Chains A and B, each alone.
Chain A
Amino acid sequence: MKFVENMSADEVLDLVCRMCPMHLLEPGDKLRCMKKGQVLEVQTDYDQALEDIPNWCRQRGQEFIGVEEDEDCYKLYIKKKTNNQEPKEGSAETPGG
């Protein structure tokens, strides 16, 4: 896991208090409305997201930048690399915890 500090993001997605699998559904919707190169900050208090979101980024061709641990949540940073968010061929779907 790559940890980052003082990252700035173009958009913030607050998923604190939301249950699985929202952390795997909402980032895709949000990234769809963003431009390539922009950074999305996903806030979550769901531990499994630390594993799921990097995997999701790998499968969808997005770049996982890293995670910052905040007072009451994790902040996971994703850089938008592609508009095509279909899972790559041969990659298994993330189970979602």
Chain B
Amino acid sequence: MERVYMDNASATPMRSEVREAMLPYHDHYFANPSTVHDMGTAAREAVEEARGKVGGLIGAAPERIVFTSSGAEANNMAIKGAALANKKKGNRVIVSGIEHHSVLNAARFLERLDFEVAFLPVDDYGLVDPAALERLISSDTILVSIMHANNEIGTMQPITELARICREHGILFHTDAVASVGAVPVDVLELGVDMLSFSGTGMEAPKGTGGLYFGKNVRLMPLIHGGIQERGMRAGTENVPGIVGLGKAAELAALEIETESRRLQQMRDGLASGISEGISRVTHTGHPSLRLPGHVSFCFEAVEGEALLFMLAQKGIYANTGSACASKALKISPVLAALSLPHEVAQGSVVFTLNRNNTQEEVNYVLEHLPPAVHSLRSFSPLWSEDAT
């Protein structure tokens, strides 16, 4: 098999329909959407049409969506923007310990501005305990941010319950749904969230696209000041082709999400059980069932995750260790550390993320080539002994 790409949480190929939809806005309709002539009007109308399609995917009114350059920017906008705009009400922010760096570091930045940040622990599956959240809430808490689904371990949080608790305390609730929007049905009103971040990167849309849903009751301090774009919420000439592409990807995802998520779930469970049965001393990370449909994550004892990735790449299989940032810094991922996994287990993390393009034949190919790769690496690992329990 030429190439089996199972790193869709990191990036996805752009769909041909998305590329087609974008092309006219690179050449014919290139004008600035803020201009008053008819060329600008065409670009502006395309942006608003895309806003409607993205809103349709997540059950939001179009005017409650602001486009950003990424999920990371949307997370920054939610965390810093809501905290700064509401600081007269309090200075305490709560985030879970397994958030993406764009949430964790935005929260740590707030600490430098004299906000207090509390980190909510997770259990061994990566799940937040709603009762623990309630205990952490104090009278000066203004914002809680807990991700919908984790990109490294796939676990999906009980967002509806967590959002309800915050609503009862009059606290804003944000969820980072970058990993879940486009992968599972998401409805902001059903979830009851005040803010929700999403990105085009995992939706077969162009990179450099994303956005934030913010409810009617949410006051945000803009982070990028300048012109009147995005109703004064985010200055800078709009990335019209990118936004059009994001809109097209959202439109297609909305049509396919129910059937695709069921198909991916079957392949996910087959891959996970094949790994558990075919390779000894592995840890299936994240929750076994409350997880993203295309997400399979394991730690292989006495194996370096990066080394295993290189071995798999030689067979044309592309996966990930879970956290590129932590990997490059030679640290174990904070997410795996939060699960209380021993270092020697956590360092053997490999994550397979499947999407619409993956097939059962590809899953079979991975199950054929993964066990010998793990065995080969273990054969010269000083940490490995066959008789260990």
Contact = CB atoms under 8 A, between A and B. Distances in A.
Does chain A bind chain B? yes
Interface of A: 14-19, 21-22, 25-26, 71-72
B39 interface: no
B235 to A, nearest CB: 9
Nearest to B89: A72
Contact of A25 (B84, B225, B228): B228
B221 A17 contact: yes
A17 B221 CA distance: 5
A9 B88 CA distance: 24
Interface string B82-116: 00110010000000000000000000000000000
B51 to A, nearest CB: 14
Contacts of B222: 17-19
> Chain A: interface secondary structure?
loop
B219 A17 contact: yes
Given A16-B219, A17-B219, A17-B222, A22 B85 contact: no
Contact of B233 (A16, A18, A25, A72): A18
Interface in B213-233: 219-222, 225, 228, 231-233
B88 A71 contact: yes
A22 B232 contact: yes
B77 to A, nearest CB: 12
Contacts of B221: 17
Interface in B72-88: 84-85, 88
A84 to B, nearest CB: 19
A91 B88 CA distance: 40
A73 to B, nearest CB: 9
Nearest to A30: B63
21 contacts: A14-B219, A16-B219, A17-B84, A17-B219, A17-B220, A17-B221, A18-B222, A18-B233, A19-B222, A19-B225, A19-B232, A21-B228, A22-B228, A22-B231, A22-B232, A25-B228, A25-B232, A26-B231, A26-B232, A71-B88, A72-B88
